[in-house]
Structure 1
Amino acid sequence: MIRVTRWLVGFVALATVSDWSAWRSRTEPISASAVSLEIDTSAVQAEVDERFLSVAVDIANVVGGAFWDPDRNAGAMATAQVPPYDFSRPALRSLAEALAPAYLRVGGTDADRTVYEAAGAPADVGAGRWRLSRKTWQNVSRFAQDVGFRLIFTLNAGEAARDASGRWDPASARGLIEEAVAAGDPVDVWEFGNELNVFPLLHHRWLSPRAYADDLQLVRWLLRDTAPKAQLAGPAVAFWPLLGEGLPFYGRFMRAGGDLLDIVTWHYYPSQSYRCPVATQRAKAGEVLRPRQLAEIDRWAAFVEDTRDQHGPQAAVWLGETGGAQCGGEPGASDRFASSLWWVDQLGRIARRGQPIVVRQTLSGGDYGLIDDETLAPNPDYWASLLWRRLMGTRVLPTQLRTGLGPVSAYAHCTRGEAAPGSVTLALVNVHPTRPIDVDLPDLGPEARLYLVQASSPEAHRVTLNGKPLALTAEGAVPPTEGVHVHHPQLLSLPPHAFAFVTFPQAAASACR
């Protein structure tokens, strides 16, 4: 429950969840694990898109293909036959709308096995392939428009889209793109292929970087002819923890065809679920919270960015697919509170780097979904995403943590949608399992609003905001997320295994005006 533990001269000590106070006076002893937070409110370090936190629905779910088996059958390929995705569910729409504006990516492994009715695909497409009907495509488009999403669609770069010589055939996509443009469907980005560097594992075929670049030129010409306002993305290369690419593709492709792209997309998961036959970092609840593992995404992000700078400087870099664990997510980990600590930290890291879009796999579907696809109950990461969406704006401020080595991360943004100019919001994450971390806050005005998110354990599914359970209303609506008002905030004691957003409406940050 929330309780006030002490009143201090000069400010009100606000209560928190548990048996100690979150807010402390600077006159009280500061623990050895304390950190001092510095924020430059006069500068913008990076700027992200208003759709920064975006989501995906796997095309296997969309068309009713084979997705990750919930019955613990391991294997490189998804094997569970699923019904076509029901975009009409009111609860799903309500939950999705609360995350708008965002992109909805329709992609995944089976994007390179899917053919399109609009491009002339017959009803019977044969074993191992899937057909995107006009009706299903219209359902995708209508859903996106209704909830405030724009679309990223991954075009088939696989065998079914190639002629007898193995060259990609533009006719395989022309009909779909032309119909989408004529109908006004909200497709902003056409991505060519999914995880080209692991084609041998997923499709038993190697597409060389040079051949992919040649095919990409055909896609570029096709878009110039049919959808000149759309952007072209690729190669959606997968990076694994510790290993990186595994099969080197990205650098060689960028040298051959990086100048063709508007957007460089890459994929990263910090671990692999039990379903993956090969793992460099097997998923376990809480393991993803080790500071070195949290920081590893910066290593691969820097490689992607540096290579882009050399061979495709005109292109933006988007983290085009990510989740807590590859291969459908890990039950008991990807859908638990520990994942939310990882998720908030990763969002902060990628925003700080200036990558404008992060696509979360998935909106629903698999153990890594923000929403349980069967019950439509929000998973913990949904609530973390909702708070990020409501509080963290597009401008990122330079932030440094000093004095102390505590396992805490901090990110500062201009506040999203704040009526008063100059407002700043912090995202703070403490991944230590037992120790609270004292955060000495900069002077950002006389008042703050605290949004403290906790759970009974990292493996818990139920989470609280300022001591109150986060849940849909009795009518099934997404609730308001209200912060606790704080006077004269000075020192925040962040609980173990917890994250918080702190908004300073009177920060008067010149970078946020």
Structure 2
Amino acid sequence: MAGGLLRWPVVLCLLNTLIISPVRSTVWTAGSAAMTQGTAVVVGAAAVSSTDEHFVCATLDWWPPEKCDYGTCAWGLASLLNLNLSSHILLNAIKAFSPLKIRLGGSLQDKVIYETEYPQEPCRPFVKNSSEMFGFTEGCLPLSRWDQLNEFFRESGATIIFGLNALNGRVPLSDGSLGGPWDYTNAASLIRYTVNKGYRISGWELGNELSGSGVGARINADQYAEDLMNLDRVVDQTYKGYQFKPLVIGPGGFFDANWFNEFIVKAKSSLDVISHHIYNLGPGVDQNLVEKILNPSYLDGEASTFSNLRDILKSTGASTSAWVGEAGGAYNSGRHLVTNAFVFSFWYLDQLGMSSLYDTKTYCRQSLIGGNYGLLNTTTFKPNPDYYSALLWHRLMGPKVLSTKFNGTKMIRAYAHCARDSKGITLLLLNLDRNSTAQVVVDPGTAQLSAVKYHRGGVKEIKMGEEITREEYHLTAMDGNLHSQTVLLNGKILDLDAQGGIPVLESVKVDALQPINVAALSIVFAHMPSFYAPACV
């Protein structure tokens, strides 16, 4: 990978005079023989949707070291019960987001008992038992560990969402579901303890993957709505007199249109956030994961989930927001050297871009650490490539989402947002093509051209002699190996510093009037401060 000098003829319309000018520009490139061209049309007149101010989220799970899939035990000491909270790398990785949303939950959350201040029974850990749901007995969260976790979250500045056990008090029904009202006694005890200790939890979520046909267990929508309203009452009572009230969230399951519609209608104003999970690539053992990730038609398939949920919320008139509460792509802990390697950034960033177009407010990646899909290495805590993809998104992509269309090859995925804390826009380009570099011209769209004269790259005005640049961040795999767990930014390896700190993510400045070069199998964030977008002013 090396820098190069490219010359391009640029047409500038200045004072009604046509000037043809050769412009010299330093552009980062990654060698690729074939070349294709296309146009990213970004309509900046108005935002088409918006995310929360902090869109990126990651999860921490409950799985013990004995959790194994397909003969591989990938969780190690990454559980909420045994994670090393004294790791400086872990702390630095979270603090780099300032803040990072973290959702605490997962399959075993509906088997967690919370220790009380006056316990009647010993607080026992999960024990492997193949006859039990998910292969483990119930486990207990000691209050001493809850104290440790909250001290760590305070120090890291993380925003915390806690997933509650929704199965207490249930009885089997004839249709195979679980019924009866949720017994919230134990959950209410934890919430009271949390408030009394002054710990800040930003949201309480009820249950994990119990919606629709469920995973392991299921609950009908009307009963779940009643339970959610009970959680809302518990939260209201416990936080009475406080200026801050956490969000009430549910169901944390897979999208089922009929179930979700009924749940939203019956939960009414008690439901602040409706959360759903995404594992659209299939099981981690699937040998075709990479082919799916690099197939634009396959990636497009998940758009219907986002659009259908958005339409349900609109049709019901609910003020509820939509979140992706957990998304690991490939279920059963992912796949080593795929879901924790460079190639997975194509799926992950495409999901962030696509979901944000449909008013998804927060997107929680499974996982921050643990399994084969962690943003961090389970043993060393060293960031995997997707960590840097998430951090660049968090720092560059603002909440306002712009309509973006790519005219050209189907192998380029394009998404644009108003830039975060800066002028202009940030454009994300993903090149799924294994062989061709794409030269991408950015166009502001005909709707804006009718009102304002633009130059190449959406620049509104150019003064004679003025240098107009953009900032580019090119992500590529080490040695071009999609399965590499080392990522290069503008040709330089991203690695921790000597103190375990996250490296500086440095851009390269490029002439804003030049096309964006997107190498084969690479990712580019382009911050374009001179791009005129009224929505971003």
- 2:406 aligned to which of 398, 401, 410: 401
Shift of 1:71: 4.0
Q: 1:162 to 1:146 in 2, by over 3 A?
A: farther
RMSD of aligned residue pairs (Cα, Å): 2.9
Q: Which runs of 4+ in 1 moved over 6 A?
A: 78-83, 160-165
Q: 1:73 to 1:381 in 2, by over 3 A?
A: closer
Shift of 1:434: 1.5
Q: Deviations over 1:422-466 (max 9, x none)?
A: 322111111112122221123244211111111113222221111
- More off after superposition, 333-342 vs 393-402: 393-402
What is the TM-score when the length of structure 1 is the normalising length? 0.86
**Map of 2:531 onto structure 1:** 507
Task: Give the conservation status (yes or no) of the 8 Å contact 2:104–2:162.
Answer: yes
Letter in 2 for 1:184: G
Question: How many corresponding residue pairs?
Answer: 481
2:48 maps to 1:49 = no
Secondary structure in 2 matching 1:398: strand
Distance (whole Å) between structure 1 residues aligned to residue 222 and residue 432 of structure 2? 43
Shift of 1:69: 4.7
Q: Deviations over 1:447-496 (max 9, x none)?
A: 11111111113222221111111111233211111111112432123111
**Map of 2:508 onto structure 1:** 484
Task: Give the conservation status (yes or no) of the 8 Å contact 1:318–1:358.
Answer: yes
- 1:155 aligned to which of 164, 186, 189: 164
Shift of 1:65: 7.2
2:83 maps to 1:85 = yes
Secondary structure in 2 matching 1:367: coil
Task: Give the conservation status (yes or no) of the 8 Å contact 1:451–1:501.
Answer: yes
Shift of 1:201: 4.2
Letter in 1 for 2:439: D
Gaps of 5+ in 1: 22-29, 240-244, 276-280
Distance (whole Å) between structure 2 residues aligned to residue 466 and residue 93 of structure 1? 26
Q: 1:19 to 1:155 in 2, by over 3 A?
A: closer
**Map of 1:357 onto structure 2:** 362
**Map of 2:40 onto structure 1:** 37
**Map of 1:233 onto structure 2:** 249
Q: 1:54 to 1:80 in 2, by over 3 A?
A: closer
Q: Deviations over 1:57-96 (max 9, x none)?
A: 0133xxx57544584379xxx9999661222211100011
2:331 maps to 1:326 = yes
2:263 maps to 1:253 = yes
**Map of 2:495 onto structure 1:** 471
Shift of 1:145: 1.7
Distance (whole Å) between structure 1 residues aligned to residue 77 and residue 68 of structure 2? 6
**Map of 1:186 onto structure 2:** 200
Shift of 1:257: 3.0
Shift of 1:511: 2.2
Q: Deviations over 1:27-51 (max 9, x none)?
A: xxx96x4221222223222221122
Q: 1:189 to 1:339 in 2, by over 3 A?
A: same
Shift of 1:287: 2.4
**Map of 1:123 onto structure 2:** 122
Task: Give the conservation status (yes or no) of the 8 Å contact 2:94–2:100.
Answer: no
**Map of 2:280 onto structure 1:** 270
- More off after superposition, 214-223 vs 354-363: 214-223
Shift of 1:417: 2.6
Q: Deviations over 1:88-109 (max 9, x none)?
A: 2111000111123221110111
**Map of 1:431 onto structure 2:** 432
Shift of 1:200: 5.8
Q: Deviations over 1:370-401 (max 9, x none)?
A: 00120111111011111112211122222222
Q: 1:308 to 1:94 in 2, by over 3 A?
A: same
Q: Deviations over 1:212-248 (max 9, x none)?
A: 2222222122112113512111111225xxxxx5x97
Distance (whole Å) between structure 2 residues aligned to residue 227 and residue 221 of structure 1? 10
**Map of 1:415 onto structure 2:** 419
Secondary structure in 1 matching 2:283: coil
Identity %: 27
Shift of 1:256: 3.5
Task: Give the conservation status (yes or no) of the 8 Å contact 2:95–2:156.
Answer: yes
Task: Give the conservation status (yes or no) of the 8 Å contact 2:169–2:182.
Answer: no
**Map of 1:144 onto structure 2:** 153
Q: 1:81 to 1:365 in 2, by over 3 A?
A: closer
Task: Give the conservation status (yes or no) of the 8 Å contact 1:371–1:377.
Answer: yes
Larger Rg: 2
Secondary structure in 1 matching 2:24: coil
2:346 maps to 1:368 = no
Task: Give the conservation status (yes or no) of the 8 Å contact 2:306–2:360.
Answer: no
Distance (whole Å) between structure 1 residues aligned to residue 160 and residue 511 of structure 2? 43
